[in-house]
């Protein structure tokens, strides 16, 4: 599979990058919990939003590589 081409650049501060990485990580934890036992949030509209998010993750391109690269960049900034 050829490497994806970059279509969008996003300039972030270190703090913004950390926040983005945390948000994605929380989403991944929620997906893992859903996959283990079918859990969906119970707040008004939250289950619908979670279902939409799950569908987008399943059908969209992988964010694994860019998030891994973002994590590596953040670790370098901490040095």
For the segment 27-51, what is each residue's pLDDT rounded down to a tens digit? 888 888 888 998 888 888 888 888 8
pTM above 0.85, yes or no: no
Give the pLDDT band (50/70/90) at residue 2.
low
Please report, for the chain, the start and end positions of each structural domain, with discontinuous segments joined by +.
14-78
Mean pLDDT of 51-59: 83
> Using CB atoms within 10 A of its CB, is residue 27 exposed (0-12), middle (13-18) or buried (19+)?
middle
pLDDT at 1 exceeding the cut of 60: no
pLDDT, averaged across the chain: 84
Mean pLDDT of 43-67: 85
């Amino acid at each position: 599979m050829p490497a994806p081409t970059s279509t969008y650049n996003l300039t972030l501060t270190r703090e913004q990058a950390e926040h983005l990485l945390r948000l994605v990580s929380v989403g991944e934890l929620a997906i893992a919990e859903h996959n283990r036992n079918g859990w969906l949030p119970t707040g008004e509209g939250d289950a619908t939003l979670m279902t939409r998010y799950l569908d987008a993750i399943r059908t969209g391109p992988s964010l694994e590589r860019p998030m891994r690269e973002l994590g590596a960049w953040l670790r370098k900034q901490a040095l």
